[in-house]
Structures are given as C-alpha cells and as structure tokens.
C-alpha cells in the first residue's frame, strides 16, 4: 500500500477545516498501526480509526490514539509550493512493531489528514520509536500543495 491523502481532506482543506499554523493552529495527532493500514484506510476514509492500531497491552507504553505532533507549521520553500512540517515524533520506551501511521486533526473531530506507509515493518523493543519527517522542501515535504 502507498501513502494516502484522503479525498475528504482535500475538500476540508479548501473549506478551512485544517489549520496547520505553528501558533494558534489545530492539534494534530499521529497513530501507529501494527498489521495493516487498509483496512481501515482508503482514499474514501474521513476520520481516525483504532482498527489495527498498535496496542498498549503487554507494557508497550504506546498511548491509544497516538501522540500529538509538535510544531506544525507552513512554509513556502520555493515558488508555487507550500509545505507542512512537523517535528520528529518520539514514542518513548515502547515495544511495538508498526507498518505505518495516520495523521489526524484532533481538534476537529479526528478528521483524517494523511496515511503513511512505512514500506515494511519498523520496530522498537523497550526503546524509542522515532518518526523523522522529510525536509520541508518543495520536493520532499510530508504534505505539499503545489
């Protein structure tokens, strides 16, 4: 499966549902999934789903629903392209395996923003699971509008 930008997100973006401003913007969360992203997710998905989400069972320390992303922000790194950027997200002292993640707007009814496919299973065993977002450039930003 590849990364997914839901159709609903595209129209919600134009309606002003999602505010990625670094100061005063919405709160966005990232949740991790352990077996498959689809289901629960397809391009017609509209909200965050707990189906197949990593579990906090067995002392993994993974918080249900994921964690809030830090420092959302919008920039225009080159002409004709705006990008959203987040700080790296660290799930501390966890024991999990994940195939991907979902970013959703916690502030606005858990509306789905983006589904990320890690391209294979990534794991942490009693350690940190870190998601490093790509550089916020016109070619590499995690979420780009051109």
Asked if residue 10 has pLDDT above 90, the reply is yes
Q: Report d(CA 38, CA 29) in Å as an integer.
A: 19
pLDDT per position as a tens digit, 54-113: 987 666 789 999 999 998 889 999 888 999 999 999 999 999 999 999 999 999 999 999
Per residue in 119-145, pLDDT (tens digit) is: 999 999 999 999 999 999 999 999 999
Write the DSSP symbol of residue 86: -
pTM for this model (two decimals): 0.94
For residues 28, 33, 38 and 43, what is the CA-based torsion angle, rounded to 10 degrees?
Answer: 10
Does residue 129 have a cis bond before it (omega within 30 degrees)? no
């Amino acid at each position: 499966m590849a990364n997914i930008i839901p159709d609903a997100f595209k129209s919600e973006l134009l309606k002003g549902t999602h505010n990625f401003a670094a100061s005063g913007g919405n709160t966005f969360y990232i949740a991790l999934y352990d077996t498959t992203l689809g289901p629960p997710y397809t391009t017609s998905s509209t909200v965050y789903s707990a189906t197949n989400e990593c579990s906090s069972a067995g002392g993994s320390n993974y918080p249900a629903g994921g964690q809030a992303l830090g420092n959302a922000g919008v920039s225009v790194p080159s002409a004709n392209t705006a990008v959203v950027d987040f700080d790296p997200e660290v799930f501390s002292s966890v024991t999990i395996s994940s195939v991907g993640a979902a970013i959703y707007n916690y502030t606005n009814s858990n509306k789905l923003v983006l589904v990320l496919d890690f391209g294979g299973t990534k794991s942490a065993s009693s350690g940190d699971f870190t998601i490093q977002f790509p550089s916020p450039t016109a070619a590499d930003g995690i979420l780009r509008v051109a």
